[in-house]
């Protein structure tokens, strides 16, 4: 019996109740099914309560698993000289390998089914099926193509159950590097809204216009990104420079820079003068409107060929590293002299 005892214990350790199916008596099978059902119910309750009952469900699930482990151990440890037929019956129960295999497979399938059902039913109210996400993806791609008269690819579809909406990420098929976001409700058919394609497109054009100025003032030190918002009439205008000709809306521009430079008390005044010169010359590359400027400074030794390559692709790559100084102004027209510039140390 020792071989069977170890096997039943191992199976019980791997999956709740599986060792009881290995033993295979009617009582063991019923008990194993009950433990598996309780595991699935615990998982269902965990998801339905958004994990808030985790401190109760977790110990309960562990307790159920331990019970399923103890029962086979007790079964094989039980001996009674008054019941010699019990040992003989137990021996016959475990004498057929193919029956053991069939019972174990059935138990494994029931365990997997209980876990799957608990997860599926418990998480269903907070998730969307692949078919539902595909419907939103196709609706978004069709919406973008009709609006901008070019093909787009939606790459990510994330559902937020709390507000019943989707957050999507997309890019033009001809320019995969230009990623932007848009939203959709969970109606059928979906209603697409809030796409930021033009905002990102204008921002990319502004960044390209800004680059020569940065190369002049911050040679091999500064890398920038831009985002442009135009509260206009909804006319599709792809050319950022033409926004200056639209009198029916306001333009606001956000410029963010990463600068690799070792600022100290000795050169901080000089850096303020350089920032002032940048602010004075920014209107030559932006269109009329409000301009927000943010500059984050990082130690010069963080500028490596690898980091430069990553920052040029995505300036947010530096978020995982600690900046040394920072400057922020919400409207550059408020800056008239170096005295208005506050570069704050963050160390």
Spatial separation of the C-alpha atoms in residues 158 and 45, rounded to whole Å: 23
Query: In whole numbers, what is the pLDDT of the chain averaged over residues?
Result: 89
Contact 166, 136 (CB under 8 A): yes
**CA 57 to mean position of chain CA atoms:** 26
Q: How confident is the model at residue 155 (pLDDT cuts 50, 70, 90)?
A: very high
Contact 253, 266 (CB under 8 A): no
pLDDT at position 81 over 60? no
Q: Is pTM, for the whole model, over 0.75? A: no
The DSSP annotation for 164-204 comes to: TEEEEEEEETT-TT--EEEEEESSSS--EE---HHHHHHHH
Amino acid 130: pLDDT: 86
Amino acid 311: pLDDT: 87
Amino acid 127: pLDDT: 73
91-94: long-range contacts, CB 8 A cutoff, minimum separation 24: 91/1, 93/23, 93/24, 93/25, 94/1, 94/4, 94/23, 94/24
E strands in 29-188: 152-160, 165-172, 180-185
Contact 139, 131 (CB under 8 A): no
Spatial separation of the C-alpha atoms in residues 202 and 288, rounded to whole Å: 14
pLDDT at position 204 over 60? yes
Amino acid 233: pLDDT: 59
Spatial separation of the C-alpha atoms in residues 146 and 253, rounded to whole Å: 27
Spatial separation of the C-alpha atoms in residues 104 and 111, rounded to whole Å: 10
Spatial separation of the C-alpha atoms in residues 275 and 287, rounded to whole Å: 19
Residue whose C-alpha is closest to residue 144's, from 120, 115, 177, 179: 179
Question: Can you name the residues that pair with 226 across neighbouring β-strands?
Answer: 255
Q: How confident is the model at residue 347 (pLDDT cuts 50, 70, 90)?
A: low
Q: What is the mean pLDDT of residues 216-244?
A: 87
Q: What is the mean pLDDT of residues 160-166?
A: 84
């Amino acid at each position: 019996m020792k071989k069977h005892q170890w096997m039943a214990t191992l199976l019980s350790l791997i999956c709740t109740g599986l060792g009881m199916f290995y033993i295979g008596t009617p009582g063991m099978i019923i008990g194993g099914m009950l433990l598996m059902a309780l595991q699935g119910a615990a998982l269902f309750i965990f998801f339905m309560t958004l994990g808030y009952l985790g401190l109760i469900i977790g110990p309960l699930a562990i307790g159920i698993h331990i019970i399923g482990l103890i029962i086979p151990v007790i079964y094989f440890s039980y001996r009674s000289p008054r019941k010699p037929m019990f040992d003989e019956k137990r021996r016959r129960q475990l004498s057929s390998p193919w029956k053991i295999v069939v019972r174990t497979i059935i138990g494994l399938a029931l365990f997997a089914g209980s876990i799957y059902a608990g997860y599926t039913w418990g998480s269903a109210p907070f998730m969307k099926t692949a078919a539902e996400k595909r419907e939103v993806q196709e609706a978004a791609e069709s919406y973008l193509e009709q609006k901008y008269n070019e093909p787009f690819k939606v790459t990510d579809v994330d559902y937020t159950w709390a507000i019943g909406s989707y957050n999507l990420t997309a890019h033009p098929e001809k320019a995969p590097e230009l990623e932007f976001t848009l939203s959709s409700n969970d109606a059928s058919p979906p209603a697409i809204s809030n796409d930021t394609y033009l905002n990102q497109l204008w921002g990319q054009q502004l960044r390209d216009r800004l680059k020569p100025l940065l190369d002049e003032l911050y040679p091999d030190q500064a890398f920038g990104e831009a985002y442009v918002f135009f509260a206009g009439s909804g006319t599709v205008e792809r050319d950022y420079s033409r926004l200056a000709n639209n009198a029916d809306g306001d333009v606001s521009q956000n410029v963010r820079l990463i600068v690799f430079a070792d600022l100290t008390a000795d050169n901080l005044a000089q850096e303020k003068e350089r920032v002032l010169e940048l602010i004075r010359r920014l209107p030559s590359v932006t269109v009329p409107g409000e301009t927000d400027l943010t500059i984050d400074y990082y130690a010069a030794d963080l500028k490596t060929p690898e980091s430069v390559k990553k920052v040029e692709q995505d300036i947010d790559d530096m978020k995982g590293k600690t900046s040394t100084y920072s400057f922020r102004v919400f409207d550059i027209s408020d800056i008239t002299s170096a005295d208005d510039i506050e570069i704050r140390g963050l160390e």
